[in-house]
Each structure stands twice: as C-alpha cells, then as structure tokens.
Amino acid sequence: MKLEELRLRHFRNYQDLTVTFGPGVNVLLGENAQGKTNLLEAIYFLALARSHRTSNDRELISWQAENAQVFGRVQKHSGQTPLELDLSKHGKKAKVNHLEQAKLSGYVGQLNVILFAPEDLSLVKGSPQGRRRFMDMEFGQMSHRYLYNTAQYRTILRQRNRYLKELGSKQQSDLVLLDVLSDQLAAYGSEIISARVTLLKRLEVWAAQVHQEISQQRETLSFHYVTSVKDDDLIDTQHIYDALKLLYQQHRDKELFRRTTLIGPHRDDLKFLVNDKDVSSFGSQGQQRTTALSVKLAEIDLMHEQTGEYPVLLLDDVLSELDDSRQTHLLTAIQDKVQTFLTTTSLSGVAQKLIHQPKVFRISNGEIQADD
C-alpha cells in the first residue's frame, strides 16, 4: 500500500498543497512549527477520518476558512483508490472512489497507517486508556467488524451509564430495561474482547521476534490482556458473552451505587512482560522503549498478515528519542518494506547512513519543496 499523492486545502497551515510522494522513505525536513507534523496529521486523518492530536475537528480547518479538504490517491494490489474527506462546521463527508460513504466504518481501512511518535514510547508506562485506544485504533483498521462493534458498544455504554445515573437518582425504577442494556452491552463487548484476544496473540508473536533481535536474544517479550472475564472463559465469543452477563448481575448493586458501568472492554488493559516481569513496573527505561518499538514494528507485519497489504508508516520526530542501536533496528526493519514518512529537523548520523535514496521534502511555513 502506497500513498502516491496528497492534496490539502485549508488544512492547518496548508492553504493549497499538492504533493507526490516516493514509494520508499519520504523525509519531511524542516525547523519546528513549520508544518511537518501537520502533514503527517493530514495523512493520518485521511486514513482514519480523525486526528491523533485533537478531538475537535474544527481545529484542523485553517484560520478564517469555512471548510477543509484532504484528498489522497492510494495504490494497492487491487489498483488505485482515490480517497477524499471534506470537513466543515457541519461535520465531515468521506468519499471512496468519488462515492460518498454513508458511514465512516465503510471508509476506514482503505488506507492503513501506523503512527510512531515520541508519546508512543509511553505506551508501556502510560495509562490503560492509552493502551485501549491503541488496540481500538489499530485493530479497527484491520477489521470492519471490530470497528462496527466498538462503535455500537460505545453507544450502548453511554445509554447504560445514563440509565444507571437515572436509577441512582430515583428518576427511573425499571430494572428490566437495565437488563436489556446489559445484554446488548455483553453482546458487543464479547465480540470486542474475543477479537482483542485473537489479534493480541498474533501481535505478540511478531513483537516477541523483534524484541529478541533488539535485545540480542537476552530478553523475551510477552503480553497479558487484563480483563474481568476469567481466562477459562476467553475460549470463544459465546463463553465471554455468558461471563459478561453474569458479571453484570453480580455487580449490579455496586454499579447502581457508583452510577456507572464497571465491567467490560472499556475497563480492560494490556500488560507487557519482559522475562515474565511487568516492564511498566520493573523494566528500565531502555527496556520500556525497546518494548514500545517492538510493538510498533510488529504492527506492520500483523497488518500485512490481516489485510494482505503493508501499511504506511508515519514517524513523527521519533528518531531523536531513540539511541543509535534502536534507530538502526528501526530503519533496517522498514527499509524497502513499507512506505515511510519521517519528520526531522536534520537528517544525519545513523539515519543518513541507513536510509537508501530517501525522497526529501523541505518544509517552511506551510510550503513544501522537493529536493531534486
């Protein structure tokens, strides 16, 4: 999968831009605050119809403009696919092959991207919410069903939490409706948990191989999915569904008291273990960074395994956060394998030696110039 062309209109500090990219490593070179990350954000937005930097889409539209457009031409095994997102204060419209999509779930997955930014180095040490978001964003690109189930789950979860608040304040008293909502939540929740367990097992296989290579066979990486459902019930979707329904019954009084849903995939977590020890608690900073790098590189192979296409890799100033050894492994792993977009203030040292024939773009104040 390759992003051959990108066109922006009134997106962040880009008023009118058309740029053609190379199939290998595309280096976005420039000083800070000139628009390098904005360009990566545009590619991410084109893929997922959402920003990785803000939840307010209005911030993506240039100052004093009414709307913004992002257009991309994607080359896949099946041929070229034009993608388009139109963004205004009224919302966004998504088009695939010039046909408007009724739902964003029909749009996401046309262009698969993996973003690796300095904050992703905190994937191991950061909050459970960040790890849940990581799973949902990556697995949603690989599976329309997963994307649909998470959207439905969030809708039912909001309804159930609202009803728990109404029950707690005596505005409602009908527990039958709570049972209906619990059943619906268990149905979608069991699909999500089942998919996570399956995909995490595959991701673990790829990540463990990378981690052993980086650590020179000294360390073994493994995953532990933390959920309220017992391990014995994680064998299939039906068992998970039955377990969730029972847990909602058992926790009813506590949830009524707390007025919120305490059980389900929105409360789950993912732990990373190095030599069977929780690397977030007992690992060194170097081990934590190696784990994060291993997981990110493993995503490339997992996405290829699940979709038949390699994703586009976005590296946002991440080289400056990695030592020479980890830089070397990252750049060697992606060379001639995936189309890559790399932002940096200077291309030197390890990167300059290892990147074969990069296509360099110099960015200044929302203007972009390709080196000959």
Tokens linked to 351 = 């990167």
The Cα 215–Cα 224 span in angstroms is: 20
Report the interhelical angle of 285-307 vs 175-214 (nearest 10°): 110
Give the containing element (helix H, strand E) for 11: strand 2-11
72 torsion bin: left (phi>0), alpha (psi -120 to 50), beta (else): beta
Is 36 annotated as contributing to ligand binding? yes
Contact 344, 321 (CB under 8 A): no
Is 321 annotated as contributing to ligand binding? no
Is 35 annotated as contributing to ligand binding? yes
The Cα 257–Cα 260 span in angstroms is: 8
User: Looking at the DSSP assignment, which residues form a beta bridge with residue 11?
Assistant: 14, 61
Is 93 annotated as contributing to ligand binding? no
User: What are the strands of the beta sheet with 2-11, ordered from one edge?
Assistant: 14-20, 2-11, 67-76, 79-88, 91-96, 99-100
Q: Fill in the amino acid letter for 217.
A: Q
Is 64 annotated as contributing to ligand binding? no
CA 1 distance to own-chain centroid: 17
Is 212 annotated as contributing to ligand binding? no
Tokens linked to 138 = 């990556």
Between the alpha carbon of residue 308 and those of residues 171, 200, 240, 304, 348, the distances in Å are 52, 18, 29, 5, 34
Is 339 annotated as contributing to ligand binding? no
Query: Binding site for ATP: which residues?
Result: 30-37
Query: Binding site: which residues?
Result: 30-37
